[in-house]
Structure 1
Amino acid sequence: MPEFHVVAGETVREVLSGKRSEVLDIVREAYRTHEAGRSVNPDSYFLRFPEKPDSRIIALPAYLGDDVQLAGIKWIASFPRNTASGRPRASAVLVLNDYETGYPVACLEAANISAARTAASAALAARTLRPTGFDGTRIAVVGGGVIARNISDYLEAAGCAPESYVVHDLHKESGEALVGHLRGTHGRTASFTPDLADALEAETVVFATTALEPYVSTRFRPGQLVLNVSLRDLTPETVLAADNILDDVDHCLKANTSPHLAEQLTGSRDFVTGTLAGVLNGEVTLTGERPVIFSPFGLGVLDLAVGAYVLEQARAEGSAITVPNFFGETSRW
């Protein structure tokens, strides 16, 4: 009978904080495994609340093969009103199951895992989709929360080093906090702008907001890279005027994401250029004649890949908590 472990949030943070390069590699390989069909990633399930239309709890079941060989599910809550009282918007747990027996083997605090895999995905896309690099360019970050902070950390780990950052947020204090993080932690030139239009002029624009519907109708110019992490900021017309790279086509074209709205508007998926794994594998080529928008819906297989790594490290360091007698019955008779 397998042991059951709990990995607390403090341990997750400690493991991940010094392992960003490793997490970037893990996310890249998870994308390739998924693209090759050696995974199972069903639709996410959204639990919504009539009296809280901005809030939801999402179930992301998945299985990842190759070196991981685990199934599992992330149960992540997104309650944007938490930020008004200084709490993070998202909280989550990740349950991992042994593939051979189906038995659960661990429960991990997963808000940090989710933020890390999201940020690593964005940074991997930035490095891959701007092969000329970031020298002499600006990166704009729209949204100043936990995901934005993690994305900035992973951009640095991925070697995406711009000349400067500009941050825009409707909540000035949050935007200024991210500016302080960029300056203090990474030694970068960074400034806050209250003008969204100014941020949208940057060579790379990162959206990390809690927007529920599109508000950006700007047509980006050739050479610009847009990391559409929050998925609902862009009008469908803006999406259609760009080359579009997704993490998974079927997953991204649902739940009224900006790409999904573009599909509804045109009745076609012809605007989709390909997947990030396709670019990584050399199967998708970008011409540079149009802006590039990367839209990652967020795949459960990424949570499994990063969660499996965290569990392995925590077990090796002795910081995973063993729960004795977790299973009520250990034999059939």
Structure 2
Amino acid sequence: MLDDRFSFSVVTGAVVDRVLRRDLGATVPWVSDAYLAHAAGECTNPPSQFLRFPDRPEARIIALPADVQADVQTSGIKWIASYPGNLARGLPRASAVLVLNRRDTGYPFAVMEASLISAARTAASATIGAEQLGPPGRRAAAIGFLGCGLIARYILDVMFARGWQFGFVGAHDVRGEQADAFLRHAAVGHAGGTWRASTPEELIRRSDLVVFATTSSEPYITDPRIFAHRPLVLHISLRDLAPEIILGANNIVDDVEHCLKAGTSVHLTEQRTGQRSFIHGTIAQVLRGEIALDRDNPTIYSPFGMGMLDVVVGKHVYDEAQEAGELIEIADFFTAGRAGERRLV
């Protein structure tokens, strides 16, 4: 609830974390509703804009603007940096802020730490894919994680919050200590076993639910035969799989135009084949029961990530932080606006 036309607040990462951790599972219906609103034309989500650096080709900063007419009635933009080199410096790969704007005047009313919002909405999207496309009853014999950073932890935590049960949780990361830490984290909320795979191929073959959450910039999984057991693949990092694997699978995305860009695996497949018929539909179509998949093939869910999800999750977090009195309010941030208001009186 915005009581003041010029109110402006900061929501710190500590507050964002507290709000999200109160009920991580609540992010799933927020994100599901956003996908359906987008499909109904109730969101405006322009293409993400990438700032790249000739001297640091592995790094990028991405701007994700969006306007959400439904539900939260808010516009906004996420500005997220991805610097894989930070890991060697002992720093997180990603850092981000989210700015939220009023829809009536356009005035920003909050700036929020957004790496956690980004992780939570990504995890919610992955969980939706698992629940809509994966094994029934929120149970899997084995789930395997390729890449074991913040995103992987959030995906596992949201799935646990939604009542998922696994016989085994497996992990592989190029940094072995990262995989070990992830498995220790998994063991806290997990009654089954854990294992650390020695190779990505071993992890895939042993898992009926596979999560890619790496920082890879190009495909390194090239053999379709390791998917012969027809797992569900949550391809969150988007660039791990060769076109040969994409072409042998059911492919679901969040938004076709968004996903077919920026060197994603499905983008490379489109470039190679000159067509996009290998994409079977969107997650909104799955939610509406409009997609029939070939169960003789593996299914790959590749959500590009859309700014509207950050705006939706961010506004819910803002509302709960405001209700709890946890906002840092910045008085007279828009001094020029208040001066103009006084002149009109």
Matched, 1:23 2:27: yes
* Correspondences of 1:11-50 after superposition (within 5 Å): 11-50=15-54
Unaligned runs of 5+ in 2: none
Deviation at 1:158? 2.6
1-structure distance, mates of 2:196, 2:249: 27
2-structure distance, mates of 1:14, 1:134: 26
- Which amino acid in 2 is paired with 1:150? Y
Deviation at 1:89? 0.5
Structure 1 222/37 Cα, relative in aligned 2: closer, same or farther at 3 Å? farther
After the TM superposition, which segments of 4 or more aligned residues of structure 1 sit over 3 Å from their partners?
133-136, 185-188
2-structure distance, mates of 1:141, 1:20: 19
* Correspondences of 1:109-258 after superposition (within 5 Å): 109-133=113-137, 135=139, 137-201=141-205, 202-219=207-224, 220-221=227-228, 223-258=230-265
Q: Deviations over 1:136-188 (max 9, x none)?
A: 51101001111111111112123332211110111100000001000124344
1:82 aligned residue (70, 80, 86) = 86
Name the stretch that deviates more: 158-167 or 179-188. Answer: 179-188
Matched, 1:317 2:324: yes
Asked if 2 retains the 8 angstrom alpha-carbon contact of 1:170 and 1:194, the reply is no
Asked if 2 retains the 8 angstrom alpha-carbon contact of 1:222 and 1:288, the reply is no
Q: Deviations over 1:72-110 (max 9, x none)?
A: 100000011111122111000000000011110100000
Asked if 1 retains the 8 angstrom alpha-carbon contact of 2:254 and 2:303, the reply is yes
3-state DSSP of counterpart to 2:38: helix
Aligned to 1:105: 109
Q: Deviations over 1:171-221 (max 9, x none)?
A: 100000001000124344211112221101111110000001000013223
Aligned to 2:333: 326
- Which amino acid in 2 is paired with 1:232? R
2-structure distance, mates of 1:189, 1:210: 26
Aligned to 2:305: 298
Name the stretch that deviates more: 251-260 or 62-71. Answer: 62-71
Matched, 1:93 2:97: yes
Asked if 1 retains the 8 angstrom alpha-carbon contact of 2:100 and 2:108, the reply is yes
2-structure distance, mates of 1:236, 1:126: 22
2-structure distance, mates of 1:190, 1:217: 26
1-structure distance, mates of 2:229, 2:299: 8
Q: CA RMSD in A?
A: 1.2
* Equivalenced residues, count: 333
Output the TM-score relative to the length of structure 1.
0.97
- Which amino acid in 1 is paired with 2:278? F
Asked if 1 retains the 8 angstrom alpha-carbon contact of 2:75 and 2:102, the reply is yes
1-structure distance, mates of 2:162, 2:107: 36
3-state DSSP of counterpart to 2:96: strand
Asked if 1 retains the 8 angstrom alpha-carbon contact of 2:250 and 2:294, the reply is no
Asked if 1 retains the 8 angstrom alpha-carbon contact of 2:140 and 2:209, the reply is no
- Which amino acid in 2 is paired with 1:165? V
Aligned to 2:68: 64
Deviation at 1:66? 1.2
3-state DSSP of counterpart to 1:52: coil
Deviation at 1:67? 1.4
Asked if 2 retains the 8 angstrom alpha-carbon contact of 1:246 and 1:275, the reply is yes
- Which amino acid in 2 is paired with 1:289? D
